[in-house]
């Protein structure tokens, strides 16, 4: 191991170490404290299982990374090289590609000033959302122009990006993964694959946030801008249909794995009621309401079993829906791109990007 370490961004100041592997190569690892990594580890495992459903000809793959929980309060994560968060790319490139537009903080402040009003209406939220969108035209297509210079590489990387967005969107929706703000989605600067990090909000817990998440996955203007002139109508929709079809065909495998985890004493089902309680306490001034609920008196093992069953049922319903695959994909895309829903999202989610 190297003698020193560096600090990554974040409130808990995770440490970046450079470790010497058995092959003689040095590898960067991220050590996180004050954070339970068990759910991240299992979601990554489920991503790997979903990858196994896909055939090479489909070129659909969720980019994964290793997560090793050490205790309930810390863990080690594989450092994903050559990636950057969406938010970082926009901060670096907005002055170049839209110099006259408001900055990220100015747009966020404008939205916040409307949302914080006591009697704000959905129409007012939609109006400020539309105004901010008009002031900042999308620019993510320039990521591909600036990173991949020859036409063939540009086309191939854009295709990889679209397929990566499609399969991760379908998997994220099936598992109820939320909190997909600009810092929690990385883009690989060599391959254009997407990498989803910080997977602590899953199984639809995002709907319990103080400002509920109303969209199934991130498919905002900037995400679409990187897909080219055909947008959602060509590769993206078809890739979503293929990915969802494969997941439906193998739904029993996913449910079986979740049922195995249901009886695993090391797994994180106990985290779900704790996270839900924390979310609800944050949203409510009267925290005494929590202790008055009947379920509060249940022993932890019974509560864990209840949460496990709820989560498994949630995934099973989505993967065994009666609606056709095409109809499901169209409905999800409509929900993800609905301005009325996007305008009501928390301003930190930056729905206008």
Task: Give the count of beta carbons closer than 10 Å to the beta carbon of residue 282.
Answer: 12
Class of domain 82-276+303-349 as given by CATH: mainly alpha
Which band of pLDDT confidence, cut at 50, 70 and 90, is reported for residue 129?
Answer: very high
From 332, 168, 163, 321, select the one nearest 248 (Cα to Cα): 321
- The per-residue pLDDT for 34 is 80
Local confidence band at 299 (pLDDT 50, 70, 90 cut-offs): very low
pLDDT tens string 181-238: 999 999 999 999 999 999 888 888 888 888 899 999 999 999 999 998 888 988 999 9
pLDDT for the residue numbered 267: 59
Q: 256-291: per-residue pLDDT in tens?
A: 888 877 776 555 555 555 555 555 444 443 333 333
Cβ partners under 8 Å of residue 68, min gap 6:
37, 41, 75, 76, 77
Average pLDDT, the chain: 86
* Chain centroid offset of residue 304 CA: 24
DSSP 3-state helix, strand, coil percentages of the chain (rounded to 5)? 55, 10, 35
Mean pLDDT of 80-104: 94
Is pLDDT of 55 > 80?
Answer: yes
Selection from 314, 315, 167 nearest residue 244 by Cα: 167
What band does 27 get if pLDDT is binned at 50, 70 and 90?
Answer: confident
Q: Which residues of 303-316 are buried (b: 16+ CB within 10 A; e: fewer)?
A: bbeebbeebbebbb
User: 351 and 345 in contact (C-beta within 8 Å)?
Assistant: yes
Q: pLDDT of 319-348, one tens digit each?
A: 988 899 999 999 999 999 999 999 999 999
Cα gap 23→208, rounded to integer Å: 45
- Which band of pLDDT confidence, cut at 50, 70 and 90, is reported for residue 349? very high
Number of other residues whose CB lies within 10 A of the CB of residue 274: 14
**Both structure tokens of 301:** 């093992």
Q: Name the band, by pLDDT with cuts 50, 70 and 90, for residue 172.
A: very high
List the domain boundaries for the chain: 82-276+303-349
């Amino acid at each position: 191991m190297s003698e020193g370490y560096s600090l990554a961004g974040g409130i808990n100041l995770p440490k970046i170490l450079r470790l010497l592997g058995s092959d003689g190569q040095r590898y960067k690892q991220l050590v996180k404290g004050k954070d339970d990594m068990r759910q991240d580890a299992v979601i990554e495992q489920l991503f790997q299982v979903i990858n196994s459903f896909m055939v090479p000809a489909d070129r659909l793959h969720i980019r994964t990374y290793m997560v090793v929980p050490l205790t309930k309060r810390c863990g080690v994560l594989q450092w994903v090289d050559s990636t950057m968060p969406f938010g970082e790319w926009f901060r670096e490139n907005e002055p170049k590609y839209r110099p006259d537009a408001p900055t990220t903080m100015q747009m966020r402040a404008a939205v916040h000033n409307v949302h914080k009003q006591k009697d704000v209406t959905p129409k007012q939220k939609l109006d400020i959302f539309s105004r901010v969108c008009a002031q900042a035209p999308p620019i993510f297509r320039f990521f591909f122009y600036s990173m991949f210079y020859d036409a063939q590489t540009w086309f191939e990387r854009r295709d990889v990006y679209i397929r990566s967005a499609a399969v991760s969107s379908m998997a994220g929706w099936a598992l109820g993964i939320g909190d997909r703000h600009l810092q929690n989605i990385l883009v690989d600067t060599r391959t254009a694959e997407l990498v989803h990090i910080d997977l602590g909000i899953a199984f639809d817990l995002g709907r319990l946030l103080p400002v509920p998440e109303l969209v199934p996955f991130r498919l905002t203007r900037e995400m679409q801008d990187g897909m080219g002139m055909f947008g959602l109508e060509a590769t993206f929709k078809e890739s979503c249909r293929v990915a969802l079809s494969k997941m439906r065909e193998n739904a029993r495998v996913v449910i079986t794995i979740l049922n195995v985890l249901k009886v695993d004493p090391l797994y994180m089902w106990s985290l779900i009621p704790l996270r839900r309680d924390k979310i609800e306490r944050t949203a409510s001034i009267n925290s005494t309401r929590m202790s008055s609920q009947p379920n509060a008196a249940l022993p932890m093992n019974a509560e864990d079993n209840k949460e496990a069953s709820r989560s498994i049922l949630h995934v099973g319903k989505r993967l065994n829906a009666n609606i056709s695959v095409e109809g499901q994909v169209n409905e999800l895309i409509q929900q993800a791109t609905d301005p009325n829903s996007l305008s009501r999202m928390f301003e930190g989610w930056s729905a206008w990007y």
